[in-house]
């Protein structure tokens, strides 16, 4: 069977007007990216959530441009079909338009991804439009913005309807092709989705969005510690892996592994 053609930025954006919701998940390594791609996700996000799930950090603030490029290049080599979107790390797009273009350009050139994602309110619209002007597709991210966690005072549901509508509208007007809505009440997310022309991708924003994104480690039950309310664990791979590792140790210690099948004569 011929493999489906790669999903382009325009094709992703056009799904706004279809009744098939967009599915996006995160990946930071080759086997996970390959698995997601072969399982039919529409987009793969190399998120700065790698700070939490790969590096074991409390916040996404320490992630560097070099780190995200390292992971994104690996992911892009594994993906044949899905759109790959890469997060711009904290302070890689805030210190001037030229710097933002140079950094987003490095991400595109060195990884092979199709788009970048950046967190921002209406104040970041000029950055979005300058990236779009030079041909770099941008997915915006409004609502709870983990890179601004100290300013926002914690991982809380965002309820200021007017600013949320204004931020999403500003992202669209600046030329973003899609916008992530993180942690907002279902009715506000639905209203934004109805009012703007670009797809909304929700995380903790209810089912009125045009698509959904989750951190793969969370939805597969691989993460340890706190799980936000908006995560559904579709599997408990941590428990499956723990049982397998315990069995391995047991078999090694009792001399049952390796057996004849795993040995050369």
Contact in structure between 181 and 209 (CB atoms under 8 Å): yes
Contacts of residue 11, Cβ cutoff 8 Å, sequence gap at least 6: none
**Paired residues of 108 in beta bridges:** none
Determine the interface stretch with ligand KIV among 41-49, 67-75, 100-108, 162-170 (rule: CB under 6 A): 41-49
Q: By C-beta, is 13 or 219 nearer to ligand KIV?
A: 219
Task: Please identify which of the residues 34, 119, 162, 182 carries the catalytic annotation.
Answer: 182
What character string, x for contact with ligand KIV (CB under 6 A) and - otherwise, covers 244-263?
Answer: --------------------
Q: What angle do CA 35, 74, 139 make, to 5 degrees?
A: 80
Q: By C-beta, is 4 or 62 nearer to ligand KIV?
A: 62
What character string, x for contact with ligand KIV (CB under 6 A) and - otherwise, covers 85-104?
Answer: --x-----------------
What character string, x for contact with ligand KIV (CB under 6 A) and - otherwise, covers 142-171?
Answer: ------------------------------
Three-class SS of 151-220: HHCCCCCCCCHHHHHHHHHHHHHCCCCEEEEECCCHHHHHHHHHHCCCCEEEECCCCCCCEEEECHHHHC
Contact in structure between 203 and 230 (CB atoms under 8 Å): yes
What character string, x for contact with ligand KIV (CB under 6 A) and - otherwise, covers 49-88?
Answer: x-------------------------------------x-
Q: By C-beta, is 42 or 87 nearer to ligand KIV?
A: 87
- Closest separation in Å from C-beta 145 to ligand KIV: 9
**Any long-range contacts for 1-8 (C-beta under 8 Å, 24+ apart)?**
3/80, 3/81, 4/81, 5/81, 6/80, 6/81, 6/82, 6/83, 7/42, 7/43, 7/81, 7/82, 7/83, 8/83, 8/114
List 48, 116, 139, 193, residue binding ligand KIV (CB under 6 A): 48
List 28, 33, 42, 47, residue binding ligand KIV (CB under 6 A): 47
Shortest-Cβ-distance residue relative to ligand KIV:
47
Residue 115's alpha-carbon distances to 45, 56, 186, 251, in angstroms, are: 10, 26, 27, 47
List 41, 43, 45, 170, residue binding ligand KIV (CB under 6 A): 45
26 binds ligand KIV (CB under 6 A): yes
Contact in structure between 132 and 198 (CB atoms under 8 Å): no
Question: 182 catalytic, yes or no?
Answer: yes
Q: Residues in contact with ligand KIV, total (CB under 6 A)?
A: 10
**Catalytic residue list:** 182
The residues that touch ligand KIV, with contacts defined as CB under 6 A, are 26, 45, 47-49, 87, 180, 203, 213, 215
């Amino acid at each position: 069977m011929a493999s489906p053609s790669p999903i382009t930025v325009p094709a992703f954006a056009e799904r706004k007007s279809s009744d098939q919701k967009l599915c996006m998940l995160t990946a930071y390594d080759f086997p996970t990216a390959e698995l997601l791609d072969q399982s039919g996700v529409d987009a793969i996000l190399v998120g700065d959530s790698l700070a939490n799930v790969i590096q074991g950090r409390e916040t996404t603030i320490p992630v560097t441009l070099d780190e995200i490029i390292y992971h994104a290049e690996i992911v892009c080599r594994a993906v044949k079909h899905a759109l790959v979107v890469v997060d711009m790390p904290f302070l890689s797009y805030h210190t001037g338009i030229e710097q933002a273009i140079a950094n987003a350009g490095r991400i595109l050139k060195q990884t092979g991804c199709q788009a970048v994602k950046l967190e921002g309110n209406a104040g970041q619209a000029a950055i979005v439009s300058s990236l779009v002007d030079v041909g770099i597709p941008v997915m915006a991210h409004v609502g709870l913005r983990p890179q601004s966690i100290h300013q926002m005072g914690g991982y809380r549901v965002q309820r200021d309807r007017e600013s949320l509508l204004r931020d999403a509208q500003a992202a669209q007007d600046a030329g973003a092709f899609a916008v992530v809505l993180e942690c907002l009440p279902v009715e506000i997310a639905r209203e934004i989705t109805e009012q703007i022309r670009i797809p909304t991708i929700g995380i903790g924003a209810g089912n009125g969005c045009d698509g959904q994104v989750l951190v793969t480690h969370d939805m597969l039950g691989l993460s340890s510690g706190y799980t936000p309310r908006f995560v559904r664990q579709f599997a408990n791979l941590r428990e499956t892996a723990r049982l397998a590792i315990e069995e391995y140790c047991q078999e090694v210690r009792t001399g049952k592994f390796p057996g004849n099948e795993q040995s050369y004569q």
